[in-house]
């Protein structure tokens, strides 16, 4: 089974998000970088799907791969190497000029081109995993656009995946009351949500593997035209002004806490 | 048609709260464009027989002057391909001036399916939309609500979704009985690829999202067992236990309990946050709370400075003392 996972490198802000003076980017001068938890879980799910197939059918000598793809600056190699440390086997960096955040149409066009070129070289993917939404942009559409351009079905919001013996996939989507079940024939795509699994931490062996991981650089980005949505500026929403009433600095604050609960009518 | 089309989000005939928000938001959009709001509701014949009258009445009450009922056997239940194909067939035939919905699971997904099929831009999770002859001016949310982005939208047919909960649903002032128009969308073979095949119902009482009291723990709780005291407090108050991502990542609690950008958004009467620093991704899930009480040893923690109330002390001492105090008062005759 061959699975492709698309992840996006994003800054990892702490208690507030600062914006650069030109309003074009999150000020990441003092920040680390990460991927969306949804995408981290997508990588874990791909690795587990293949572990499950090989465990149930040990003499299956089919070709297995978890290829991770990112569109971004060269530094996004860091996110690919992290994926290597938790079990991914192939890595593709689609270099985006300027390193700025691209609009979702342009992003999707570039990723579609990259998938086509990877498949032409190494064979088709049975499954392409996306995050339900990117951590920063939250456009809820890049995966759907890529899947549509490739002529493949996609369902978003997935919190459970099983591979079927005939090559298709059963996918579960959470609702308020439980979950919905979808059945997709391969090749297909799914948008994954955090909670589908508990991602593993890198092992020592994984860390060593990540250092040796070969990252293929693709240039399908240059041909992608800008879409109709253009950033003017980023800004922080007005913050709720609050003064904190300190009820105490020890367990002796308990009566004051219970008075408050009583006042709010929740006792 | 020349109206603003609204894709109505419903689950087998039952409207989602988001549907009325979308209709409400579309009214201001239609007013700015000097046109009407026209609802698009998808279903099969049986669905409209059982729920049609209610659906049409609700759309009318929230300002739709026309309700377009898209009827087809494959629309008996939801499917992203079926809804996307139906919507794009509607758009081709009717040529609305804009299409909008709400950023719920179904609304966001069906609109993205339409955008992909029509090869049009889609601006997701908008909070304000100002139409113009050329470029629409839009403000949308990023980072799950922690950041705003002003964008322009240039498109032959503008597609936008409104951020869920950013608009308060309000009935229209002078609502008329809407005109009902039926269409049979051309769905094509792809529509069958992603239909809901089965449903599993997990019965649950009060959910995290709807609980009036949420008692959450973060890394400061220290272990899975450490949550026993929080469970007890939640139980005494008829509330639910929540947690931060540090806790789910450590395997102390299930992800279903996680509050935040990639977890649940809560809106309780009071949020009691124990040993949680208040990272921005946690805060966006908690900021809908009416009151916040932070219990933390660090007076500078973001959760403390943003909360209305705080106790600066070890949660392992404070939480049991609060439980004891509640029991003491309840036992008092
Ligand atoms: C894209 C993205 C999405 C994310 N989504 C989410 C999300 O949905 N939800 C979420 O929660 N996080 C999310 N995160 C993670 C988030 O950034 C933080 O890492 C996380 O919220 C930290 O959890 P915490 O507050 O429990 O831990 P910490 O930040 O380690 O804070 C622990 C706190 O406990 C206090 N403490 C320690 N001991 C005690 C004690 N004995 N008594 C009282 N107080 C004590 C400390 O003073 C400190 O304030 C996301 C991150 C990213 C990048
Ligand atoms: N620059 C990128 N590189 C790789 N994958 C991406 C990128 N942008 C978006 N994606 C994928 O598309 C999903 C949806 O993104 P979005 O439409 O921006 O919310 C993400 O969760 C990723 O899986």
CA distances from B198 to A213, B80, B194, B212 (A): 41, 15, 12, 32
Per-residue pLDDT tens digits for A88-107: 999 999 998 766 689 999 99
CB-ligand 1 contact for B84 (6 Å cutoff): no
Mutate to test the interface with B, among A41, A100, A107, A148 (most CBs of B within 10 A): A148
Question: What pLDDT score was predicted for residue A242?
Answer: 79
A204 contact partners, CB below 8 Å, separation of at least 6: none
DSSP for residue B269: S
Question: What pLDDT score was predicted for residue B304?
Answer: 97
**At CA A48, angle to CA A45 and CA A51, rounded to 5?**
155
Residue nearest to atom 42 of ligand 1 (CA): B314
pLDDT beyond 80 at B326: yes
CB-ligand 1 contact for B216 (6 Å cutoff): no
Mean pLDDT of all residues in B121-133: 96
B34 contact partners, CB below 8 Å, separation of at least 6: none
Peptide bond before residue A187 is cis, with ω within 30 degrees of 0: yes
DSSP for residue B231: H
Q: Give the C-alpha separation, B190 to B88, whole Å.
A: 13
Per-residue pLDDT tens digits for A30-78: 999 999 999 999 999 999 999 999 888 766 667 899 999 999 999 999 9
Per-residue pLDDT tens digits for B141-177: 999 999 999 999 999 999 999 999 999 999 999 888 9
If we measure between CA atoms, which residue out of A34, A227, A67 comes closest to residue A145?
A227
Average pLDDT score over chain A: 94
Query: Six-digit token pair at A244?
Result: 């904190």
| Residue B211: band (very low, low, confident or very high) from pLDDT cuts 50, 70, 90 | very high
CB-ligand 2 contact for A35 (6 Å cutoff): no
Cβ–Cβ gap A179/B202 under 8 Å: yes
Question: What pLDDT score was predicted for residue A59?
Answer: 65
CB-ligand 1 contact for A163 (6 Å cutoff): no
Instruction: Decide the pairing of beta strands B213-217 and A229-235.
Output: unpaired
Per-residue pLDDT tens digits for B27-49: 999 999 999 999 999 999 999 99
Q: Give the C-alpha separation, A132 to A142, whole Å.
A: 9
Cβ–Cβ gap B311/A257 under 8 Å: yes
Question: What pLDDT score was predicted for residue A99?
Answer: 63
Question: What pLDDT score was predicted for residue B168?
Answer: 94
Terminal CA-to-CA distance of chain A, rounded, Å?
55
Per-residue pLDDT tens digits for B50-62: 999 999 999 999 9
Rounded-to-5 percentages of helix, strand, coil across chain A: 30, 30, 40
**At CA B18, angle to CA B17 and CA B22, rounded to 5?**
130
Backbone angles phi, psi at A36, to 5 degrees: -65, 140
Greatest C-alpha distance within chain A: 69
Distance A16 CA to ligand 1 centre (A): 13
If we measure between CA atoms, which residue out of A5, A81, A82, A91 comes closest to residue A50?
A5
Greatest C-alpha distance within chain B: 71
Q: Give the C-alpha separation, A93 to A150, whole Å.
A: 19
pLDDT beyond 90 at A155: yes
Q: Give the C-alpha separation, A35 to A125, whole Å.
A: 22
Percent of chain B at pLDDT exceeding 90: 94
pLDDT beyond 70 at B333: no
Mutate to test the interface with A, among B81, B143, B145 (most CBs of A within 10 A): B143
Lowest mean pLDDT among A39-53, A206-220, B57-71: A206-220
Kindly report the nearest CA distance between residue B294 and chain A, in angstroms: 9
Percent of chain B at pLDDT exceeding 70: 99
User: What ligand 2 atom has the least distance to the C-alpha of A132?
Assistant: 21
Residue A204: count of CB within 10 angstroms of its CB: 8
Percent of chain A at pLDDT exceeding 90: 85
Residue B280 near chain A (CB below 8 Å) = yes
Cβ–Cβ gap B194/A149 under 8 Å: no
Using a cut of 0.80, tell me whether the model's pTM lies above it: yes
Instruction: Decide the pairing of beta strands B98-102 and B123-130.
Output: unpaired
In A133-177 the beta strands, taken as DSSP E runs, fall at 154-163, 169-175
Mean pLDDT of all residues in B236-244: 97
Q: Give the C-alpha separation, A193 to A161, whole Å.
A: 11
CB-ligand 2 contact for A157 (6 Å cutoff): no
Considering only residues 191 to 250 of chain B, which have any Cβ-Cβ distance to chain A shorter than 8 Å? 193-202, 207, 209, 212-213, 237-239, 245, 248-249
Cβ–Cβ gap A17/B310 under 8 Å: no
């Amino acid at each position: 089974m061959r699975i492709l996972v698309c992840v996006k490198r994003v800054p990892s802000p702490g208690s507030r998000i600062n914006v650069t003076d030109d309003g074009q980017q999150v000020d990441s001068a003092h920040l680390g970088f990460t991927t969306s938890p949804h995408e981290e879980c997508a990588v874990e799910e791909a690795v587990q799907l293949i572990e499950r197939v090989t465990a149930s059918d040990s003499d299956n000598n089919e070709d297995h791969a978890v290829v991770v793809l990112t569109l971004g600056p060269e530094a996004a190699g860091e996110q690919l190497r992290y994926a290597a440390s938790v079990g991914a086997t192939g890595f593709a960096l689609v270099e985006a000029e300027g390193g700025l955040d691209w609009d979702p149409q342009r992003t999707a066009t570039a990723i579609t081109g990259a998938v086509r070129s990877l498949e032409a070289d190494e064979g088709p993917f049975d499954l392409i995993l996306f995050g339900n939404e990117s951590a920063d942009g939250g456009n809820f559409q890049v995966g759907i656009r890529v899947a549509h351009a490739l002529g493949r079905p996609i369902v978003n919001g997935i919190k459970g995946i099983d591979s079927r013996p005939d090559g298709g996939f059963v996918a579960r989507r959470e609702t308020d009351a439980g979950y919905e079940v979808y059945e997709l024939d391969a090749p297909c795509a799914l948008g994954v949500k955090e909670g589908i699994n508990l991602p593993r931490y890198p092992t020592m062996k994984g860390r060593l593997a990540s250092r040796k991981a070969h990252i293929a650089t693709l240039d399908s980005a240059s041909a992608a035209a800008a879409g109709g949505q253009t950033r003017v500026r980023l800004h922080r929403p007005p913050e709720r002004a609050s003064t904190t009433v300190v009820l105490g600095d020890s367990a002796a604050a308990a009566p004051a806490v219970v008075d408050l609960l009583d006042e709010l009518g929740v006792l | 048609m020349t109206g603003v089309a609204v894709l109505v989000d419903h689950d087998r005939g039952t409207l989602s709260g988001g549907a009325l928000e979308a209709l409400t938001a579309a009214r201001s959009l239609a007013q700015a464009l000097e046109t009407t709001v026209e609802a698009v509701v998808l279903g099969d014949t049986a669905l409209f027989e059982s729920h049609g009258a209610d659906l049409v009445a609700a759309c009318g009450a929230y300002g739709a002057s026309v309700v377009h009922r898209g009827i087809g056997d494959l629309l008996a239940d939801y499917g992203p391909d079926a809804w996307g194909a139906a919507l794009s067939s509607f758009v081709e035939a009717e040529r609305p001036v804009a299409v909008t919905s709400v950023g719920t699971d179904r609304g966001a997904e069906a609109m993205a399916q339409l955008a992909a099929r029509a090869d049009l831009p889609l601006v997701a999770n908008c909070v304000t939309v100002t139409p113009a002859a050329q470029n629409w001016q839009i403000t949308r949310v990023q980072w799950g609500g922690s950041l705003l982005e002003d964008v322009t939208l240039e498109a032959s047919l503008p597609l936008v979704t409104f951020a869920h909960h950013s608009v308060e649903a309000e009935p229209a002032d002078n609502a008329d009985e809407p005109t009902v128009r039926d269409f049979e969308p051309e769905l094509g073979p792809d529509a069958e690829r992603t239909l809901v095949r089965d449903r599993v119902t997990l019965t649950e009482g009060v959910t995290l999202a709807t609980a009036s009291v949420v008692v959450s723990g973060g890394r400061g709780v220290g272990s899975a067992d450490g949550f026993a005291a929080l469970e007890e407090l939640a139980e005494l108050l008829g509330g639910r236990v929540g947690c931060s991502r540090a806790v789910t990542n450590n395997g102390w609690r299930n992800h279903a309990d996680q509050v935040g950008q990639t977890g649940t958004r809560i809106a309780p009467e009071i949020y009691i946050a124990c040993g949680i620093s208040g990272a921005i991704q946690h805060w966006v899930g908690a900021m809908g709370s009416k009151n916040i009480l932070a219990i933390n040893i660090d007076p500078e923690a973001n959760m403390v400075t943003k909360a209305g109330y705080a106790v600066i002390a070890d949660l392992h001492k404070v939480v049991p003392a609060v439980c004891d105090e509640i029991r003491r008062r309840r036992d008092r005759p």
